[in-house]
Structure 1
Amino acid sequence: RHADLKRFSAHVDVTTDPVRQTGCCLYSRFHSLAPIVALTPQRLLSDSFLRTGLGAKGEGCALSALEDSRSSLEEPGSHGCCPWRVHSPERVALPPASLVLTPHLSSPPPPDSRAPCPAGFLVLLLLSLGLAAQNLRASASTASAPPGCAPWCPRNSVCVSATACRCHPGFSSWSGEIITSPADSCADINECGPPLAVSCGKFADCQNVDGSHYCTCSPGYGLVSGATTFRNESENTCQDVDECQQKPRICKGRSVCINTLGSYTCTCPPGLELNPKDPNLCTDVDECSSGRHPCHSSTICVNTVGSYRCHCHPGWTPLPGLRDNQNTTVCEEVSFPIWTPPPGIQSQHLSHFFERIRDLRRRFQSASAQDTFKGLIHAVDHLLETPGDLETLPRSEQHCVAANLLFGLEDVLRGLSQALSNGSLTFNSPAGTELTLEVLEQGDRSISLSQNRAKMLLNWETVQGSADSGPSVVGLVSTPGMGKLLAEAPLVLDPERQEVVWETHKDLLQEVTHVLLSDVITAFLSNRDTQNLSSPVTFIFNHSVTPRPRKKVLCVFWEHSGNGSGHWATTGCTMVGTRDTSTTCRCTHLSSFAVLMVHYNLQEEDPVLDVITHVGLSLSLLCLLLAALTFLLCRAIQNTSTSLHLQLSLCLFLAHLLFLTAIDRTEIQMLCAVIAGALHYLYLASFTWMLLEGLHLFLTARKLTVVNYSSVSRFMKKLMFPVGYGVPAVIVAVSAASRPRLYGTSTRCWLNTDKGFIWAFLGPVCTIFSINLAFFLMTFWIVKNKLSSLNSDVSTLKNTRMLTFKATAQLFILGCTWCLGILQVGPAARVMAYLFTIINSLQGVFIFLVHCLLSQQVQQQYRKWFKGVTKTKAESEKYTLSSRAVSDASKHSVEN
C-alpha cells in the first residue's frame, strides 16, 4: 500500500552514481512502485510473478539477488544489478525483517558487472519493500490483536477469527466484506459517487468522508432549522437564502440588492456604476469629466452623486421658463430690468430720476453689479430727499409714485442680485437707506437679515420656493423717506378685524386715522410667488415713537391696486407683540411690497371718570387695608361675621390693586390674559363672600338666641372657605379651558365681549345679586316681626336695628354697584357710568365705615389703641426730658 511505502521510504536512503548507474537505481522509480509494494514476499518469489512481471531474463537475477540478500545481511558486497550494501543501521529502529539499502559507493563495481540482469534491481527493491511492509503490519497486529485473532487485519477492519477480518462500515475490500488474505485492504466506499450515489435532494450536494458521508445545501440555500448538514433526501429542507435581508447589507452604499434563487445581484441606480474592485459597491459616474453630459455651452457642468447639473456662469441667468441647475438649463447674461415711470404723472423731478435709471441700465455689466446697486440706492435717496415738484402733486398721485418706487425697486434689486456670487451684501447710504442682501445655496436653515431699524426672519422653503433651484436671493431695503409720499394713504382693514375693532371699542371708535411708527421696508425674494407663503415671515420693527396705551398698533402691507396706486391692508399680517420702541409682526405673504406698521386713534375716555377711578380706588385701598387690620387685630369682635368681613376685604383689596396697576398692560398678550383671569377670579371671589355674608345675616336674623347663633357659627365655619374660594376657582377654570383666547382685549386686560364671553362674569354676578336680594327681603321681614314683638329698651332690639342697617348697606354696596354697570346703555349711559365708577371705587370706604367706624366695640378698641399710643408717646417724651435734665446736671457739676 501507498502508506506502507511512505513509511518505509522514510528509512531508505537511495543514492546512485549518475555516471555509472544510469537508469538503474533512480529515486523517482522508487516512488513509482507504490501501487505494488503491497505484494508479499511469497508472491514476489512465486514463479508466475517472476515470469510475468520480470520476464525470463530477470527471473534468475531476482532469485540470485534474493538469496544473496539473505545470506549476506551483514557483509557488504555487490550483486548483479547494482552495487548495494545492505545493513541494519543503528540510528533507526525497524522491525526485525526491515532492510535499509544504501549504495556502496566506496567500492564501485567493475565495468563488466554493470547490469548483467536488467530487472535485478527492481526485484530486489520490491522484495525489500514487501518484506518491510509485511513486517510492519505484522508487528502492529501482533501488538494490538487479542489472542485467537488474525494478526494481519488491515486498517479500517476488525478481527473476526484467526483467519478472517471484516471491514468497518463505510469501507470495503477486493474480496468483499470478509477478508481472508493478508494481501487485501479495506478502502473507503465513496457513497457520493456512482454506482452507489446517495441522493441528497434538490438544492443540495453530497460530501464523502472516510467511512461515511453527509449532505449540505448548495451555496445560496440553507436548511429551515438553521443546521448545516443532514443525512439524506428525507431530511432535506433546503430553501433559498434571501441575501438582501442580511445585516450588514451585502450590497453596499447606494447599490440595490435583488435576490435570486441561490444567489443575489447588486444593481446601481442611474448615475452610478458597480465598482470593479468591489462588485457589491456602487460608485458615482462623473458625467462632467467623462464627457457624457449634455450641458449647454452657456452653463457649467457640476457633478453630483448619481447625477449632474448645469449651472449658469456668474453673471448669467436662465432663460425665461427654464430653471437653473437642471440638465436642460440654458442661460443668458443678466440684464438690467426695465423700469417704466407711472403713467399720467407730470413731474420734472421724477423724469430726472428715470433718466438716471436708464443711464444705469445702459452702463450695466454683470461684473460690476455691486456698483450698480449703489448707484440705484443713491438715485432713490436723491428723489426722496429732494422731491421738488412731487410735493405739489395731489395725494393720490403721490401715492402712485410711491407704489411705483416700491414695486420697481423690488423688481430691479431682485433682477440685479442674480449677477452676484454667493454671499452677503450690505450697503448703508448717507441718507439712511439700508440694503441687506444675501445669495444662498440650497439648505434647510433659518435665515435672518438684520438692519438698524428692521429685522426679517424666515426659513429656506420660503426663500427658495417649490419651483426654484440653485442659489436663491433674499433681500431687505429700508427707505426712511418713503413715508412722506405715503402720508394719508388709505387704510383698509379686513372684515374680520374691522368687526372685532368695532365690537371692542363701540362708541369710543372715532374716524380711523393712522401714523407711521416705523420706516417703510421692502422685502424681496428670488421666489416671486409670495402671495401664500409656506411658512410666515417674521418682522421686527424698531421705531422711535412709543405707542400710547390707548392706541392700537397694526401690522400692515402696501397692497397694489389696478390703477397703479394702492392702500395699506392688514389681511394676512398679525401683530405678535409690541413693547416700547419695538414691534413684532408675522405675515403669510409679502405681495412684493412694503411691510410696515400703523395705528389708529381711539376716542379718549372721559378724564373726569379717569380721575374719579384713580382717586376713589386709592382711597378704597387705604380703607380696605385699615378694615382688614381691624378685623384681624380687634379681639372684641372676633366671630364668624368678622371672618367673613376679613376675607371680603382681602379679595376686594387685591382686585382693586390689580385693576389700578395692570388693567392697561396690553403690550404682552399672554401677560394681559393672566391679568384678566386673575381679575375674573378676585371679583368673583368678592361676590361669593358677599353671598356668604348675606346668608350669614339671614341665618342670624332667624336665630337670635345664643344657642342658635352658635350653631350658625359652626355651620358657616365649615362652609365659608370651600365655597368662598372654591366656587370662583371652578368658574374661572371652566371659562379658561373653553375660551382661553378671550381673556384680554386690545385696550383692557379684562374679559372679551366676543361670543358672549363676558357672561362668564355677569352670569354669576346676577345670580349672586338675586340670591342676596332674596336674603335681604327675608331678613327685613324677620327683623320687622322682631321689632314689633320686642321692647324698644331691650338690647336685642338695638342689635337687630344695627343688623338691619348693615344688611341694607351691604346689599347696596355690594350688589347694586354692578347693576349700574350693566345699565350703561342708551341715553343714560353716561350717568350710569359716573354712578358705577363712584360707587365701585368707594366700596372699601363703605365697608370701613359700616363695619368699623359704626361699631361701638371697634370704636372702643380704637380709643384704647389711641390712648395707648398717646401714653407711650408721653412716657417717651418724659423719659427724654428726664434724660436731658440728668445730663445737664452732670455737666454742671463737672464744670463746678
Structure 2
Amino acid sequence: MQGSSLLPGLCFLLSLSGVVAQKTKGTCRVCPRNASCVNGTHCTCNHGYISESRQKYFTFPLEICEGKGIIFKSPRGTTPSETTSSMKEVVENIESLLTKKTVWGTEKMKNITATFTSILQEMESVVLETALKAPDQKLQKVQSHTVAVETRVVTDNCSTGVTFNLNAQMNSMDINCGDVIQGNIQGPSAVAFISYSCLGNIINASFFEKVNEKDQVYLNSQIVSAAIGPKRNTSLSQAVTLRFQHVKIKPGIKKLFCVYWKGTKEGGHWSTEGCFLIQANKTHSICNCTHLSSFAVLMAFDTQEKDPTLTVITYVGLSLSLLCLLLAALTFLLCKAIQNTSTSLHLQLSLCLFLAHLLFLTAFDRTEIKVLCAIIAGALHYLYLASFTWMLLEGLHLFLTARNLTVVNHSSVNRFMKKLMFPVGYGVPAVIVAISAASRPQLYGTRDHCWLSLNQKFIWAFLGPVCAIICVNFVLFILVLWILKRKLSSLNSEVSTIQNLKMLTLKATAQLFILGCTWCLGVLQMGSAARVMAYLFTIINSLQGFFIFLVYCLLSQQVRKWFGEIIKSKSEPETHTLSSRFGPDSKPSEDK
C-alpha cells in the first residue's frame, strides 16, 4: 500500500533523499541555489557567493549561498533589508528542492521518512536563525509557489494573555506569547510557522499509524510546521490552535484526524498523540495540539459499500415508528378508559423508544466533533437501555397480572409496580451508563458512528444488559403461557375471563417478538445469512413503533371505542347544524 503511493508526486523527497543521504552514502544529488557539487560528495558556493555557515564545503541542502556583499556580523548588526533577503533565500532554496524532480524509484521507505524528518527540522532551524538575526523586524512574511513562512520575534516580556496569530498560505496558528519566550529575558525569541503545499504527495496518509484496511484515509491539508527558538522546546503550557483549509471538498467524510509527524528510529509516521479535533466543516478543520512539530489533517472514508435499500427501509420505517409512537403516547395519556399501571408502562416505553429513534435518525452519524459525538453515543446508550428496562418491567407486570388474574383485588400488584417502575426504569440504565462513561469515556463514539466502540469489547456495556433482559423476559413469557394454560382449563364458563386471558397471551407473544427477539437478529448478522438477517433486523426493528401502536392501541376494544367517540363528536356538530337548518319543522323563507 505504501510503496505504490511513492511513485506519483516526486516533487520533494525523491530528490531530497539523496541530499541528506549524502552524509552516509557519499554523494550529492542536489545543492542549494548558487552552489554546485564537488567530487560528488559536497556542495560549495559559486564564485561571488559565500555560505551562511562560512564553510567552503557543506552537505546541508538548506544552506544559503549569499552574495559577498551581505555579511552577518551579529544578530544586532543586521539590517531589515538584509534579513528579508536572507529569508527569501531560505524560501527560494527550499522551493528549488520542492520543485526539482529526480527519479529515485529504488529509495527505501525508511530512508524517505528519515529524510523527511531531517529536512523539516533543519528547515525550522534555518528559518528561526534567520528571524533572530533581525530582532527589530518583529514580523516577516515570505511566500513562494510551494512554501510560505511567517515569523514573529519577541524582544520583551509578554503581557498576560497575549496570543500571536501567524498565517501561512491558507492555514493559521494561535500560540501563547509566554510559550514563545520560555522565560528567556536575555535576548530575543522567535516563533516560525511554515506551510508546504507539495509535501503531501510523498508523505501521505499511507504513513498513518492508525490506517485500517477497510478505511480509505488520505491527507486533505497542506503540511505545516511550527517551531520556537532559540530554545527548541516542543512542550507547551497552553495548546496551540491550528486552522487548516481542506485541499479538496469531498462529501461523506466519516472521520477527521489531527496528526503530527513523529520521527522514530524506523523513520517516522503520522500520529494523533497530543492533537485533537475541535471543529470541522466541509472546507476547514480546527485542531488543538499540546506540542510543536509538523502537522496535517487526515480524513477517513469507509470503503464498505452501503446498501441503499437498507438505508431507505431504515429511514422510512423509523419515520413511521416515530409517528406511531407519538400517537400511542397520546392515546395512553388521553384515553381515560385504559389508564392503569399497564398503560403507564406502555407510555414510558413509547417515550424512550421515540426519543431513541429520533436521536438515531438525526445524529447517529454526526462524528465531526468528538465530544458531541460521545454525548450522542451516551444518550443513545441510555435511551435504548431504558427502553429494554421498561420492556423488562412490562414482562414482570404481565407475569404478575397473569398470576393474580383470579384475585379480585389487584391493588397489591399495582402498588408494587408503582413503587418499583420509575426507580428501576430510569435508574438502572443511568447507573450502567454512568459506570461505563466513568471507566472508558474515550470509547463513546467511533470513527463512523456515534455509538459504543467495539474496542476492548466495550459494546458489551449495551449487549450484556440487553441479553440479560431478553433472557429474563423469555423465562417470564414461558411462565405466563404456563399460567394461562392452567387457568383456561379451569375457567370454561367465564367468557370474559377467557377473552382477557387470550388477549394477555397475544400481548405476551407480541411483546417478546417485537422488543426481544428482533434484537437477536442483529447479533446473527454473520456468514452467508448476514444479508438476510440484516434485512430482517432492519425491517422489524424499524417498525417497532408501528407494532406497539397496533397491539396496545388498535387491537384494544376500549381504544377503538374511544377513537369512535372522537370521530362521532367531530361529526355531530355538522349533523346538528344540517338537521336544524333542514329539519321537518323548518320552512323555506318566502320572498316578500
TM-score norm. by structure 2 comes to 0.76
Change (3 A) 1:407 1:729: closer
Q: Distance in 2 between matches of 1:478 and 1:881?
A: 87
> 5+ unaligned residues in a row in structure 1: which ranges?
1-339, 503-508, 883-888
Residue 181 (structure 2) pairs with residue 486 (structure 1) = no
Residue 233 (structure 2) pairs with residue 522 (structure 1) = no
Q: Match of 1:513?
A: 217
Query: How far apart are residue 807 of structure 1 and its match?
Result: 0.3
Residue 376 (structure 2) pairs with residue 675 (structure 1) = yes
- Identify which range, 741-750 or 676-685, moves more after superposition: 741-750
Q: Match of 1:296?
A: none
**Any idea what SS the aligned residue of 1:707 has?**
coil
Residue 551 (structure 2) pairs with residue 850 (structure 1) = yes
Q: Deviations over 1:554-604 (max 9, x none)?
A: 2233456789xx65421634223232144333445545xx32112233224
Q: Match of 1:555?
A: 258
Query: How far apart are residue 526 of structure 1 and its match?
Result: 1.9
Task: For 1:37-116, list aligned pairs within 5 A.
Answer: none
Change (3 A) 1:877 1:431: farther
Q: Match of 2:193?
A: 476
Amino acid at match of 1:596: A
Amino acid at match of 1:797: I
Residue 478 (structure 2) pairs with residue 780 (structure 1) = no
Amino acid at match of 2:70: F
Q: Deviations over 1:535-557 (max 9, x none)?
A: 46524123145675653222233
**Any idea what SS the aligned residue of 1:513 has?**
strand
Could you tell me which of 535, 538, 545 is aligned with 1:837?
A: 538
Change (3 A) 1:350 1:611: farther
Q: Distance in 2 between matches of 1:629 and 1:814?
A: 20
Q: Distance in 2 between matches of 1:523 and 1:418?
A: 15
Query: How far apart are residue 391 of structure 1 and its match?
Result: 8.1
Q: Distance in 2 between matches of 1:767 and 1:776?
A: 14
Query: How far apart are residue 635 of structure 1 and its match?
Result: 2.4
**Any idea what SS the aligned residue of 1:708 has?**
coil
Task: For 1:187-586, list aligned pairs within 5 A.
Answer: 341-342=19-20, 343=22, 359-360=65-66, 362-365=68-71, 366-367=78-79, 368-378=82-92, 380=94, 387=99, 390=101, 394=105, 406-427=120-141, 429=143, 431=145, 433-441=147-155, 443=157, 447-451=163-167, 453-459=170-176, 462-464=179-181, 469-483=186-200, 485-486=201-202, 488=204, 490-493=206-209, 498=210, 509-510=213-214, 512-516=216-220, 518-527=221-230, 529-530=232-233, 533=235, 535=237, 537-544=239-246, 545=248, 550-559=253-262, 568-570=269-271, 572-580=273-281, 581-586=283-288
Q: Distance in 2 between matches of 1:525 and 1:433?
A: 18
**Any idea what SS the aligned residue of 2:302 has?**
coil
Q: Deviations over 1:17-65 (max 9, x none)?
A: xxxxxxxxxxxxxxxxxxxxxxxxxxxxxxxxxxxxxxxxxxxxxxxxx
Query: How far apart are residue 770 of structure 1 and its match?
Result: 1.9
TM-score norm. by structure 1 comes to 0.52
- Identify which range, 360-369 or 609-618, moves more after superposition: 360-369
**Any idea what SS the aligned residue of 2:218 has?**
coil
Q: Match of 2:345?
A: 644
Q: Distance in 2 between matches of 1:439 and 1:879?
A: 93
Task: For 1:4-15, list aligned pairs within 5 A.
Answer: none
Query: How far apart are residue 448 of structure 1 and its match?
Result: 2.2
Change (3 A) 1:568 1:547: farther
Q: Distance in 2 between matches of 1:602 and 1:361?
A: 54
Change (3 A) 1:799 1:415: same
Q: Distance in 2 between matches of 1:393 and 1:553?
A: 32
Residue 502 (structure 2) pairs with residue 801 (structure 1) = yes
Q: Distance in 1 between matches of 2:308 and 2:275?
A: 31
Amino acid at match of 1:478: S
Q: Distance in 2 between matches of 1:574 and 1:491?
A: 17
> 5+ unaligned residues in a row in structure 2: which ranges?
1-17, 37-44, 50-62, 72-77, 584-588
Task: Indicate the percent of aligned positions where both proteins have the same amino acid.
Answer: 47
Query: How far apart are residue 664 of structure 1 and its match?
Result: 1.9
Query: How far apart are residue 510 of structure 1 and its match?
Result: 1.7
Task: For 1:142-181, list aligned pairs within 5 A.
Answer: none
Q: Match of 1:257?
A: none
- Identify which range, 665-674 or 803-812, moves more after superposition: 665-674
Asked if the contact 1:374/1:427 (under 8 Å) is kept, the reply is no
Change (3 A) 1:513 1:373: same
- Indicate the structure with greater helix content: 2
Q: Distance in 2 between matches of 1:694 and 1:562?
A: 61
Could you tell me which of 580, 588, 601 is aligned with 2:301?
A: 601
Q: Distance in 2 between matches of 1:738 and 1:522?
A: 36
Q: Match of 2:422?
A: 721
Q: Distance in 2 between matches of 1:641 and 1:763?
A: 26
Query: How far apart are residue 632 of structure 1 and its match?
Result: 1.5
**Any idea what SS the aligned residue of 2:139 has?**
strand
Which structure has the higher relative contact order (CA within 8 Å, separation 6+)?
A: 2
Asked if the contact 1:449/1:476 (under 8 Å) is kept, the reply is no
Q: Deviations over 1:185-243 (max 9, x none)?
A: xxxxxxxxxxxxxxxxxxxxxxxxxxxxxxxxxxxxxxxxxxxxxxxxxxxxxxxxxxx
Q: Distance in 1 between matches of 2:255 and 2:509?
A: 43
Query: How far apart are residue 477 of structure 1 and its match?
Result: 1.9
Task: For 1:611-622, list aligned pairs within 5 A.
Answer: 611-622=312-323
Could you tell me which of 727, 738, 744 is aligned with 2:445?
A: 744
Amino acid at match of 1:364: I
Residue 405 (structure 2) pairs with residue 689 (structure 1) = no
Asked if the contact 2:157/2:185 (under 8 Å) is kept, the reply is no
Q: Distance in 2 between matches of 1:666 and 1:739?
A: 18
Q: Distance in 2 between matches of 1:700 and 1:835?
A: 32
Q: Distance in 2 between matches of 1:876 and 1:426?
A: 86
Amino acid at match of 1:524: A
Query: How far apart are residue 697 of structure 1 and its match?
Result: 1.1
Q: Deviations over 1:43-96 (max 9, x none)?
A: xxxxxxxxxxxxxxxxxxxxxxxxxxxxxxxxxxxxxxxxxxxxxxxxxxxxxx
Q: Match of 2:59?
A: none
- Identify which range, 747-756 or 678-687, moves more after superposition: 747-756
Residue 483 (structure 2) pairs with residue 769 (structure 1) = no
**Any idea what SS the aligned residue of 1:585 has?**
strand
Asked if the contact 2:255/2:367 (under 8 Å) is kept, the reply is no
Asked if the contact 1:474/1:525 (under 8 Å) is kept, the reply is yes
Q: Distance in 2 between matches of 1:577 and 1:808?
A: 48
Q: Deviations over 1:272-320 (max 9, x none)?
A: xxxxxxxxxxxxxxxxxxxxxxxxxxxxxxxxxxxxxxxxxxxxxxxxx
Q: Deviations over 1:732-769 (max 9, x none)?
A: 33333333333333332222333343333222222222
Change (3 A) 1:704 1:875: same
Q: Distance in 1 between matches of 2:132 and 2:255?
A: 40
Larger Rg: 1
**Any idea what SS the aligned residue of 1:514 has?**
strand
Q: Deviations over 1:342-398 (max 9, x none)?
A: 5568689999999897554655343311122234435655775xx4x6287659699
